[in-house]
Amino acid sequence: MSIGGGCSLGREGPSVQLASGVASNLAGLLGEPKQNRRHAASSGAAAGLAAAFNTPLAAITFVLEEIVQDLNSRFLGSVLLASVLGAFAVHALSEKNPALEISAVGSPDWLIYLLTPVVAAAAALVGVLFQKTSIGLRATTRKMNRIPVWIRPAMGAFIAWGIAVWIFLFTKAETGQGHLGVFGVGYEDLNAALTSSFSWKVAGLLLIGKLIATVACYGMGGCGGIFSPTLFLGGMTGVLLSGLFGLFVDLTPEAQITLAVVGMSSCLGAVVRAPVTGILIVFEMTNEFYLVPALMLGALISSAVSRKFCKCNFYEELLEQDGHQLEHVIPPRDLKSWQQLPVSAIANFSPVIIKDLSPEVLSEALEAHPYLRFPVVVNKEIKGVITREEAKEALDEQREPELTPLIICAPSQSIRELQYSLIESATGLVGLVDPGAKRLIGIVTLHDLLRREVAITKEYTDDV
């Protein structure tokens, strides 16, 4: 129903996910352990994006900027090769033309550069609005327990279909030409805006309709990506504003096209928080070199606006909504960066706690768990740490066990600060305490710290 109704989502995002998944599974079939498949997954993502958009350069920067989050990563070589292979696949099996057509614009005049920041800021705000409403609706939809999960995407598809049909009929009655931009990726109307004079009133209508339809499709669980919709929203924002500017100043059709392209790059950059990718993907999709300075200026404005209103990019906010901690799923770049992470990144939030020092409880804990030390909390009060050796001696001698003071820290403290706390701890164990309630919520041992440091150091050494 979603696809048949013209789902207002992109096909490029799923292409990246499919290619990445295939590459990761192929690596597994070749004997690569699960923890070492990031290399293959990153390369597959680059190949998928290069093939989907016919933009090999943007595929490289997207993987390094957004997925790996390190432009100087050791993955660069394999990502570059995969992107080249993706481009070769497009040239061999599909059209060699860029994804979007554009009229020659020539070198923009200074008026365009004066208007570029306004368009970039507006397109970035549209991207921010799209991100907040989509993720907000996604959270709300998950709470609709009375509505079966399988029917929710159909509801979003029906909303998108109704908006798209209404806009088609309305524009056909008003202008004699029905516009289908809300259906699917909307490249037909976007191409029209980039090759000829396009009505700014129609652009405004398509902008509102596409925004609502895409939010409904994505927020209610529809299958599709956000690349194409954000490019469309940004392009229509540029056309709308250029039409409004044209009421006061003399703007050529080439100026409208330039501002539309700036809007595309700025809206995409604001949502995925990858400014270099936003510049390159639009440049490669249009093959117009004169647009680069305006795109660079727009990327600066877009990045500042998105960071002002959104803490994370679209994908990271999805991870947080699904209950993931970003420091757990996004690996650090090097040892120094890792040491700046909060202690919560390596803590054990389900420790075995001794709540009673009676011989029966101690015996049961020693028999059930192989740990060398246990935090002791009696009546919600932190008493200290008991070692396995001390517990055995106390049981043998039938005496009260001696406890070692528990060194505590806050979950927000850095791992670097934790290292000093572990040095002070006589048991090699530090407790995490909730700053407000003063209760024990987790522990970190010297073993936890060393294991993670060895893993990070090994990865950094392999990189070098």
Burial of 96 (0-12, 13-18, 19+ CB in 10 A): exposed
State how far the Cα of 257 lies from the Cα of 277, in Å rounded to an integer. Answer: 20
Residue 202 lies in a domain: yes
Q: Are residues 270 and 342 in the same domain?
A: no
| β 407-409/381-387 pair status | unpaired
What percent of the chain shows pLDDT beyond 90?
A: 27
Residue 435, domain member (yes or no): yes
347 with 320, same domain? no
Q: Is the same domain home to 168 and 312?
A: yes
Of 291, 306, 328, the last residue of a domain is 328
Residues 372 and 287 in one domain: no
Q: Which helix (H) or strand (E) holds 27?
A: helix 12-29
Q: Is 31 domain-assigned?
A: no
Q: Domain range for residue 419?
A: 335-463
Per-residue tokens: 396: 């043998």
Residues 117 and 189 in one domain: yes
Q: What is the CATH number of the domain that holds 306?
A: 1.10.3080.10
Whether residues 323 and 401 fall in one domain: no
Beta bridge partners of 225: 10
Do residues 300 and 381 share a domain? no
Q: Is residue 452 part of a domain?
A: yes
Are residues 347 and 293 located together in one domain of the fold? Answer: no
Counting every residue, how long is the chain?
A: 464
* Whole-model pTM over 0.85: no
What is the secondary structure of 274-330 as a DSSP string?
A: -HHHHHHHHHHHHT-GGGHHHHHHHHHHHHHHHHHH-SS-HHHHHHHHTT--HHHHS
Q: How confident is the model at residue 459 (pLDDT cuts 50, 70, 90)?
A: low
Residue 464: band (very low, low, confident or very high) from pLDDT cuts 50, 70, 90: very low
Q: Domain boundary at 300, 328, 356, which?
A: 328
What is the CATH number for 404? 3.10.580.10
Count of domains observed in the chain = 2
Same-domain pairing of 246 and 182 = yes
Mean pLDDT calculated for residue range 135-154: 89
When pLDDT is averaged across residues 184-204 and rounded to a whole number, the result is 86
The band of 233, judged by pLDDT with boundaries at 50, 70 and 90, is very high
DSSP string, 336-370: HHHHTSBGGGT-BSS---B---SHHHHHHHHHH--
Query: Is the domain of 294 the same as that of 174?
Result: yes
Q: Over the chain, what is the mean pLDDT?
A: 85
Q: Which of 232-246, 328-342, 401-415 has the lowest mean pLDDT?
A: 328-342
Identity of the amino acid at 420:
Y
Specify if 155 maps to a domain: yes
Give me the pLDDT at residue 27, please: 92
Q: Which helix (H) or strand (E) holds 83?
A: helix 76-93
Average confidence (pLDDT) over 247-251? 85
Over the stretch 70-128, which tens digit does the pLDDT of each residue have?
766 677 788 888 888 888 887 788 766 666 666 666 677 788 889 999 999 999 999 99
- Establish if 76 belongs to a structural domain: no
H/E stretch holding 384 reads strand 381-387
Tens digit of pLDDT for each residue in 397-447? 888 889 999 898 888 888 888 888 888 888 889 998 987 767 888 888 888
Query: Residues 227, 188: one domain?
Result: yes
Instruction: Identify the domain boundary among 275, 296, 328.
Output: 328
Pair (379, 409) in one structural domain:
yes
Is residue 89 one of the residues assigned to a domain? no
Whether 86 is in a domain gets the answer no
